[in-house]
Amino acid sequence: MTVTRFAPSPTGYLHIGGLRTALFSWLTAQHNKGEFLLRIEDTDMARNSEEATEAILKAFEWVGLSHDGEVVYQSKRFDLYKKYIDQLLEEGKAYKCYMSKEELDALREEQMAKKERTRYDGRYRDFTGTPPEGVEPVIRIKAPQEGTISFVDGVKGEMNIAASEVDDFVIARADGSPTYNFVVAIDDALMGLTDVIRGDDHLYNTPKQIVVYNALGFPIPKFNHVAMINNEQGKKLSKRDGATDVMDYKEMGYLPEALLNFLVRLGWSHGDQEIFSIEEMIALFDPKNINKSASNYNLDKLLWLNSHYIKNTPNDQLAILLKDFGVDIHGHDKLELLLDATKERGKTLVELAEQINLILTTPTQYDEKASKKAFKGEAKEILNDFALMLKSWDKTLHLPCDYHEVMEKIVETKEIGFGKIGMPLRVSLLGSMTGSGLDEIMAILGVDATVSRIERAIQTIE
């Protein structure tokens, strides 16, 4: 059975790069009817934050990436890690290193002066003498000193690293706390991981983890190292470019379906298809099709996808989502018409809320440039005649087409172009030149509110 995982450190928010990694891992498990596990790597007690842990879990809940089983917390597994450290010491596969910080600094300076790669020189690897006083030892694992550490990466292909590139790295600090590469290998093995999907910034941690796997006799999972996400200029993604908290995307009015669809296409493709439902992602995703090269973040693409998902979200569901953006239209008798008239113009829920408020809020002032252009010449007379025509219309005014008929009548009666009524009417109803179709706006407002807004605007025209 395929088992994947996502293992964030709770030292900050969940970044969208992390969410993409989680999505790729989740899809791999779902596609193979396997398990997707969540592990919180909280061994750094000084930097961990409960708020960050909660933020990660909240982001998972928002996007709908469900995990199997209980969340695993590394901070609760220290006894387990100590058991394996002791085992390696007893088997002679690890040793106590008494090298002081001063000695280590001196060694590094010497190696740098010789333009050599800085690395531990193994001086305590076979030490049998009397330990120096006042030095709390670290525990180092015995890495192979010759040969090659090889593995096949699902994205990068065959990787061969000379054993000499991996020194006897520390697996437990002087205070007894275990190090990252040690606990990751143990947890991945004990949690039954078959496939590890992670960013390629972890690529050169892999040889060290393989050393741990081999020392403990654990099976080695398949590795897939995914290229990073760059900004539109091909440089490292920054917070300004979109590398922000996943939950910030919620506040900016993005739908989780759109964000996941956007992320799945950053580094993976299926022909020329751009829009994928969750079901399609699960059916089609295969880590073998992950791109080797880095992908570029494209805000226009994200907005286009979000706009698509807004347009295709049922109106009753949109009404619920809009409550978080200060718009409560749940009981509005023209809810369907209101959303149909505005969701074509809203690329985000924030923009959609603005479009709705533009219609539902009576303007108290008028855009100076727009009113100067619209409220000139015969505008006052045309608006007045149109208001009278609405009040005396002998047919039912309910649908947009009903109001459009009145507009056609004023154009015919006054022998004017459509713009002569369209511009001043729009500014009268909305306070600016933007917004939805005039017939839709009037149908939403109704006759009384439409006439009231026109008469209010007329009073401002000199």
pLDDT digits over 129-181, tens only? 888 888 899 999 999 999 999 999 999 999 999 998 999 999 999 999 999 99
Residues 236 and 158 in one domain: no
pLDDT at 237 over 90: no
Percent of residues, the chain, with pLDDT higher than 70: 98
Q: Which residues contact 116 (CB under 8 A, 6 or more apart)?
A: none
Residues 256 and 277 in one domain: yes
> Which pLDDT belongs to residue 243?
67
Mean pLDDT of the chain: 93
Q: Is residue 45 part of a domain?
A: yes
* Contact between 453 and 445 (Cβ < 8 Å): yes
Residue type, 305: L
SS3 155: coil
Q: Is residue 103 part of a domain?
A: yes
Residue 97 and residue 267: Cα distance in Å, rounded? 43
Residues 293 and 376 in one domain: no
Residues 84 and 196 in one domain: yes
Range of the domain at 300: 1-66+227-312
Tokens representing 366 are 């008028």
Q: Is residue 72 part of a domain?
A: no
Q: Is residue 355 part of a domain?
A: no
Residue 156 annotated as binding?
A: no
Residues 220 and 103 in one domain: yes
Q: Is residue 341 part of a domain?
A: no
Write the DSSP symbol of residue 459.
Answer: T
Residues 277 and 302 in one domain: yes
Residues 400-423 pLDDT 10s: 999 999 999 999 998 999 999 999
pLDDT at 54 over 80: yes
Closest CA to 275 of 261, 259, 264, 289: 261
- By DSSP bridging, strand 295-296 and strand 229-230 are parallel
Residue 296 and residue 303: Cα distance in Å, rounded? 15
Cα first-last separation, the chain: 78
Q: What does the pLDDT average to over 185-197?
A: 98
Residues 17 and 92 in one domain: no
Flag whether the pTM goes above 0.95: no
pLDDT at 268 over 70: yes
Q: What does the pLDDT average to over 22-46?
A: 92
For this structure, is 239 an active site residue? Answer: yes
CATH code of the domain in which 290 resides: 3.40.50.620
Pairs from 272-281 (Cβ < 8 Å, separation ≥ 24): 274/305, 275/305, 275/308, 278/64, 281/27
Residues 240 and 194 in one domain: no
Q: Which of 239, 311, 376, 409 is catalytic?
A: 239
Residue 349 and residue 409: Cα distance in Å, rounded? 36
Residue 257 and residue 63: Cα distance in Å, rounded? 7
Tokens representing 24 are 């790729």
> Which pLDDT belongs to residue 324?
96
Give the model's confidence band at 104: pLDDT under 50 very low, under 70 low, under 90 confident, else very high: confident
Q: Given 312, 330, 352, which residue is the final one in a domain?
A: 312
Residues 59 and 143 in one domain: no
Q: Which residues contact 385 (CB under 8 A, 6 or more apart)?
A: 410, 413, 414
Q: What does the pLDDT average to over 424-434?
A: 94
Give the model's confidence band at 73: pLDDT under 50 very low, under 70 low, under 90 confident, else very high: very high
Half-sphere exposure in the Cβ direction for 335 (13 Å, CA): 15
Q: How many domains does the chain have?
A: 3
Q: Which of 101-110, 207-216, 354-363, 414-423 has the lowest mean pLDDT?
A: 101-110
Residues 194 and 257 in one domain: no
Give the model's confidence band at 337: pLDDT under 50 very low, under 70 low, under 90 confident, else very high: very high
Residue 43 and residue 269: Cα distance in Å, rounded? 36
Q: How is 349-399 classified by DSSP, letter by letter? A: HHHHHHHHHHHHSPPSS--HHHHHHHSSTTHHHHHHHHHHHHHH--S---S
